[in-house]
Structure 1
Amino acid sequence: MDSLTSPNRRTLLKGAAAAALATSLPVAGSASAAPATPPGPVGSRLTLPSGLQTGDVTSRSAVLWSRASGAGRLHAVLHALDSQGERLTGNGRRRGKGRGHDGRPITLRGPWATADTDFTARISAEGLPSGTTFETELFFEDENGQRSEVGAGRFSTAPGKRSDGAQTFVWTADTAGQGYGINPDVGGMFGYETMRSCSPDFFLHAGDTIYADGPIAETLEEPDGAVWRNVVTDEVAKVAETLREFRGRHSYNLMDENIRAMYAEVPVIATWDDHETTNNWWSGEVLTDEQYTVRDVDTLAARGRRAWQEYQPIADVRALSQGSGFEPTRIYRQIERGPDLDVFVLDMRTHKGENTDGLEQHATSIFGEEQLQWLLHGLRRSKATWKVILADLPLGIIVPDGEGQESISNAENGAPLGRELELARLLSGIKHQGTRNVVFLTGDVHYCAAHHYSPERAAFTDFDPFWEFVAGPINSGSFGPNEMDGTFGPRVDFQKAGPEMGSPRDGTGQFFGRVQVAPHGEEFTVELIDANGDVQYTRTLTPEG
């Protein structure tokens, strides 16, 4: 198998990360664990306890995010770089067209970060030049005008119309699940460092960005008897029920040096799934799990969604406004990535119906009508060569939930029923409107796989063949592989899973995907890679039409 980094390089990366974690983070059994709630300023100066992030970056815009240790107003300074990675000087030697190309830094002032948003804040930067790399400086100013520490990062806007459109991105899912949190013994969540070492232009997180329903204890016995040690905080010690506990799950993950290093220089495009709230939830559910004192899932989901939005660098997020409470933004959205790539982010949780056996003669909800029509309309209007659909649930994998089904499939190979009817409408609509080169990327099931769907093998035949690629987990227990439902004719081209509930310790059961879009979109190459950087599978697609 190919490897992204040599074994010595991987060992050095893990060793360096482990040393950094050992000196900077509390570990199991320490006298006091670091609080997930931000500490007060050191002296009179604010700090950035959760680093910085950039997200939803297009050819003309970006969202800049950070979190302060106390109340302060977010500021950002963007310095455009030339092709040699040097700052543009503004002296005429590297002068170009467009704001940010003449050497003048772009300065932006954002909102106040207060306790109402857990001291998080974001800035939407608009009108940026395409195909440009920026060094970023983010800081807060307190009410006295004193600046916080400065967080440094970088990002690149998507290619412009005159570019060859080449770019690379990675995707995965499932962070800090099954009790596997930040373990200094193994260098923390080192799969994120492996992804960062790929130098991707952006990162897709396919959901389960946290595990709000999975307590993280000081120690956990692995299936082979080894003991996994976790950094712990008060907020992760039990299932999340309060807003503070949900927020604490997100700030916990950002204590990991690997995640913070990646997010500082790789823009993220994220969606959510079930574990941002609780396992396999649907709207209206009443929990029977005795771990919970709050049994109403809708109450938990509202708190989980608020915390998720506060901690994600996504566009159009609204925080608390005067007297009106928190207003959730729409999670499904389109991210334009230049002439050869559009990313369509789905939300398959908000509109999801009850987990029945899936055998209803009528359509039951997984997308909801508004999202379904939005997706078909966006795909029809897209002029990009490749249309990537980021789905938080797989299409043809059977995912049981007790006597019901968690995903779209119903474990019957016949004509579409239940949720499958919505998927059938989507696939049929894509075919009849003439949309080509649609690729589904997903996670959720804790193993990696490549599936080809074709009407020649299917019970439902009114669709064009397409590919679905699955990646994850990146720092959670491993499972699978699962059985496939034959309704839409999937063929398993590849699949690989770690041992049941296997830990992230050796990286061989943790996976992410890497996609390389060739110049002018002439090829779309997908690799499935383990957390050590070893390539497990490669498939190159060429565009149709």
Structure 2
Amino acid sequence: MDGDEMGKRGGSAPAEDEAGQAREARLRRRDFLVTTGVGATALVLGCGDDDGGGGADGAVPADGGLPGDGGGLDGGLPGDGGGLDGGPGLDGGGGEDAGPEDAGTAPTGELPEDTEESAAFPLGVAAGDATESAVVLWTRYDGEAPLRLVVWRWDDGDYGPRIFEEAVTPAEGGFVHVAVPVSAGLRYRYAFFEMEGEARIGRSLVGRVRAAIAADAMEPLVFGAVSCTRNGRDFETLAQAGARDDLDAFLLLGDTTYNDGAASRAEFRAKWAENFGAEGYRALRSATGLYATWDDHEIDNNWNAEEIAPAVLEAATGAFFEHLPLGREAADADRVWRRRRWGRTLELFVLDCRSERLPSTREGEDAQYVSPEQLAWLQEGLAGSTAVFKVVLNSVGITDFPGLIDFGSDDRWEGYAAQREALLDHVDGLGISGVLWVAGDFHFASLGHVGSEEGERGWDQWEVLVGPGAQTANPLWRSCREPQFTFASGTNNYTELAFDPMTGAVTVRFIDGDGAVFEEQTITP
């Protein structure tokens, strides 16, 4: 460990328990058609014209339903507003014929690698917002040929049955979001194909994704995470993460792209494309499923929700959802905050810590860093969760940071003291175990207690700052010292979070652009 790091070495991460995965028995190809079918309706989500209307391009209307079918996919969970759970909009038939007589198999000559990769998918592919029964698959297509999406189950390191095949129609701008029904805990491969009749003439990258494990399952999980990837930088950290095939999911904590100065939808799209077209992001986004929130730079540096021009906010919000594999909430299509559960192991709480702030209230008893609705949702969710780990995606840290870092406290939870204290007191007062705050923004990595001293508010809660993935280091990391902080560094990295529900331990590894683990610690939040 060189002079750029401070910390204590911890234990090793638990190995993935393959025997504990909820896996279906592999079917022989000749029996597959007898037991299942691959016809399903492809849902193209939330990426229509700027006015949000549905129509000929297959986009979903503002209420989340398909044009004319009355169904919906709002990105919620059962018990949390409905949505991406195999319910309305996922149970209908129809669409084009599922394929030839042997559909459901992956015979030689029909694997995705047998078709040449096309340059018409410049941003690659992505999967995300996974639940135990559905996942959103994404691409941007710049060509003219008809498109078809094919999904295979991945069985023991090889292609298994083809479980989904449908024609898809890009929305305005070439964006495609498709909700695909999946089985809990299983792994999948997928690709988008350019078609000429029934012939595949070009394809996207081949993507990988895992469905969330079943509600009653408990097994070790390994997630990756990053923040702060500035446009034009070397994304070698992302390439290292993208080279892995063992990550169950990946967390984007915000400042995924730096869109400062953009004002129109076209300008925001260009900024997103600049980052997502880079090889590091193409590798990462195709390698595993994503969950994402935003910070400030997806819109503008330290933007103020009380002052931003509505047209700019609308353009930026539209571009955010266009470029990420996220479902849209039926009640509020622009809502970023949501929760996703991975069995009894962990529950993710994805926060929106930007668009609901009211800086004019900052110093009062009614300080609003997040809306009262989001705060109540989070408090109730944390108190009611039966998962071992409650992982809060919190783009800017909630920790009581020391020294010079306090000069920027008006731009994070600390600057909205009344609401921060109410939230931390809620967790402390109820003795909610397993809470892990995960944040970015600061351009340094750290691991430490939320409270500044033992016995103080938040001391028993832990927070990890992940990344920066591609940014200039903030030298103030050096002020994060023991005993509050057990590690801090300015080294560009992505972060691995290995969750062991049997011991209640999380092993945190910080991994640099060469793929080397430069710090590893195990905590019990």
| TM-score normalised to structure 2 length | 0.70
Distance 1:432 1:150, change over 3 A: same
User: Is 1:201 equivalent to 2:235 in the alignment?
Assistant: no
The offset of 1:104, in angstroms, is 4.6
Among residues 485, 489, 497, which one is paired with 1:492 in the alignment? 485
Partners in 2 of 1:400 and 1:317 — Cα distance?
36
Partners in 1 of 2:425 and 2:406 — Cα distance?
28
Distance 1:73 1:166, change over 3 A: farther
Partner of 2:318: 306
Partners in 1 of 2:199 and 2:140 — Cα distance?
16
Q: Which amino acid aligns with 1:47?
A: A
Cα displacement string for residues 503-536 of structure 1 (whole angstroms, at most 9, x for unaligned residues): xxxxxx3122111122646421112232223323
Partner of 1:424: 421
Q: Which amino acid aligns with 1:538?
A: E
Once the two structures are superposed, the pairs formed by residues 82-101 of structure 1 within 5 Å of their partners are: 82=155, 84-88=156-160
Partners in 2 of 1:353 and 1:71 — Cα distance?
45
Give the secondary-structure state (helix, strand or coil) at the position aligned to 2:508. strand
Partners in 2 of 1:453 and 1:49 — Cα distance?
41
**Is 2:195–2:202's contact at 8 Å kept on the other side of the alignment?**
no
Partners in 1 of 2:408 and 2:370 — Cα distance?
22
Give the secondary-structure state (helix, strand or coil) at the position aligned to 2:476. coil
Partner of 1:408: 413
Give the secondary-structure state (helix, strand or coil) at the position aligned to 1:450. strand
Among residues 388, 393, 396, which one is paired with 1:390 in the alignment? 393
Once the two structures are superposed, the pairs formed by residues 31-50 of structure 1 within 5 Å of their partners are: 47-50=120-123
Partners in 2 of 1:145 and 1:521 — Cα distance?
52
Partner of 1:189: 235
Among residues 266, 283, 289, which one is paired with 2:288 in the alignment? 266
Distance 1:261 1:404, change over 3 A: closer
Distance 1:451 1:49, change over 3 A: same
Partner of 1:165: 219
Distance 1:422 1:137, change over 3 A: same
Q: Which amino acid aligns with 1:125?
A: V
Partners in 1 of 2:486 and 2:405 — Cα distance?
22
Once the two structures are superposed, the pairs formed by residues 53-132 of structure 1 within 5 Å of their partners are: 53-70=126-143, 75-82=148-155, 84-88=156-160, 103-110=161-168, 112-115=169-172, 118-126=173-181, 128-132=182-186
The offset of 1:297, in angstroms, is 3.9
Cα displacement string for residues 10-62 of structure 1 (whole angstroms, at most 9, x for unaligned residues): xxxxxxxxxxxxxxxxxxxxxxxxxxxxxxxxxxx992221110011222221
Give the secondary-structure state (helix, strand or coil) at the position aligned to 1:105. strand
Give the secondary-structure state (helix, strand or coil) at the position aligned to 1:422. helix
Partner of 2:337: 332
Cα displacement string for residues 377-406 of structure 1 (whole angstroms, at most 9, x for unaligned residues): 222232211110010111133787989821
Partner of 1:289: none
Partners in 2 of 1:403 and 1:454 — Cα distance?
17
Cα displacement string for residues 323-358 of structure 1 (whole angstroms, at most 9, x for unaligned residues): xxxx743101111122201111110001112288x5
Partner of 1:446: 443
Distance 1:438 1:351, change over 3 A: same
Partner of 1:368: 371
- How many pairs align? 405
The offset of 1:75, in angstroms, is 3.6
Partners in 2 of 1:401 and 1:385 — Cα distance?
32
Q: Which amino acid aligns with 1:493?
A: T
Partners in 2 of 1:155 and 1:244 — Cα distance?
30
Once the two structures are superposed, the pairs formed by residues 498-517 of structure 1 within 5 Å of their partners are: 509-517=491-499
**Sequence identity of aligned pairs in percent?**
26
Give the secondary-structure state (helix, strand or coil) at the position aligned to 1:48. coil
Cα displacement string for residues 252-283 of structure 1 (whole angstroms, at most 9, x for unaligned residues): 11221121122112111111010011111111
Partners in 2 of 1:243 and 1:483 — Cα distance?
39
Q: Which amino acid aligns with 1:349?
A: R
Partners in 2 of 1:492 and 1:542 — Cα distance?
15
Q: Which amino acid aligns with 1:299?
A: A
**Is 2:184–2:211's contact at 8 Å kept on the other side of the alignment?**
yes
Q: Which amino acid aligns with 1:406?
A: D
Partner of 1:150: 203
Distance 1:378 1:139, change over 3 A: farther
Partner of 2:111: none
**Is 2:132–2:215's contact at 8 Å kept on the other side of the alignment?**
no
Cα displacement string for residues 135-191 of structure 1 (whole angstroms, at most 9, x for unaligned residues): 11223669x8986622222212223356541121111101125xxx05xxxxx4111
Distance 1:140 1:353, change over 3 A: farther
User: Is 1:211 equivalent to 2:237 in the alignment?
Assistant: no
Aligned-pair Cα RMSD in Å: 3.1
The offset of 1:538, in angstroms, is 2.3
Give the secondary-structure state (helix, strand or coil) at the position aligned to 2:382. helix
Give the secondary-structure state (helix, strand or coil) at the position aligned to 1:436. coil
Distance 1:156 1:517, change over 3 A: same
Q: Which amino acid aligns with 1:200?
A: L
Partner of 2:523: 541
